[in-house]
Structure 1
Amino acid sequence: MFGLGMQEILILALIVLLFFGGKKIPELMRGLGKGVKSFKEGMNEVTDITKDEDKAEKKDE
């Protein structure tokens, strides 16, 4: 995972836990999940638009 070993991941998790506290982490992860979902939807829209444009160009030829 991104070139990180298990020790680095545990240290990062501990720092996040200390910095944000245990009660805020679920809210942060929920927000992160929504952001990733929104990004994926945006990327899918872009690929759909480019596919539609490619089909239109082939149809015009």
Structure 2
Amino acid sequence: MFVERIESDLIGPLAIPGNVLYGVHTRRAEQNFDVSGLRLRDFPELIQSMAMVKKAAGLANMELGL
């Protein structure tokens, strides 16, 4: 069974698949900027690297008391 939800922004309502974790702004970006056909999930090494940088920044901030 296909379930969708309706979300709205300043442009108007838009149907969003019910099984995704993003909202109307991401859906519009997908529709408007599908230039390369590539997705972030196509680059798991990049995602892992970004997470490592985020973790390092968090640890540095904690060490500095920020």
More strand by share: 2
TM bucket normalised to smaller = 0.3 to 0.5
Structure showing greater relative contact order (alpha-carbon pairs closer than 8 Å, 6 or more residues apart)? 2
TM-score calculated relative to the size of structure 2: 0.42
More helix by share: 1
Greater Cα radius of gyration, structure 1 or 2: 1
TM-score calculated relative to the size of structure 1: 0.45
